[in-house]
Amino acid sequence: MKQYLLSVHHEGDFPMPEPEVMQQMFEGVERFNQHLQETGAWVFAGGLMPKDMATTIRYQDGSTLVTDGPWSETKEQLGGFWVIQAEDLDAALKLAEQGAQACRGDVEVRPFQGE
């Protein structure tokens, strides 16, 4: 089995959905998590705190610098992720489609580097 990162991306300062929509998202993600666990695809998953809670450690010219905020200066931000195992990319893409529906967001699929 190969491992894949399914990363959930939010655009800009992702506005908080209404409470009932947020609850539906939580329930959808929980059902998806259970599906991954029941089928043996689950490795690890987690949601991330907002980008303003990030700290970046930069290495340059032999020294490090600690700065508040996210590393990337893009409008898209990583909101959470799943690490899954799947037989191949097609199987990972099918799971990612279910994950995108569950969290109502964009999901990027990337394989881990081989050993």
Its domain, for residue 21, covers 2-48+75-111
Q: Is residue 66 part of a domain?
A: no
pLDDT at 71 over 90: no
How many angstroms separate the first and last alpha carbons of the chain? 13
Q: Is residue 30 part of a domain?
A: yes
Query: What is the overall mean pLDDT for the chain?
Result: 88
Q: How many domains does the chain have?
A: 1
Is 59 within a domain?
no
The domain that contains 40 carries what CATH number?
Answer: 3.30.70.1060
Confirm whether 60 is domain-assigned: no
What is the per-residue pLDDT for 74? Answer: 65
Residue 73 backbone dihedrals phi, psi, to 5 degrees: -105, 45
The pLDDT value recorded for residue 97 is 96
Tokens of 97: 């489609």
Q: Is the residue at 95 inside a domain? A: yes
73 pLDDT higher than 90: no
User: In this predicted model, what pLDDT tens digit does every residue of 81-107 receive, in sequence order?
Assistant: 999 999 999 999 999 999 999 988 899
- Residue carrying the six token digits 């905020």: 69
Q: Residue range 51-57: average pLDDT? A: 84
Q: Are 107 and 99 in contact (CB under 8 A)?
A: yes
Q: Rounded to two decimals, what is the model's pTM?
A: 0.82
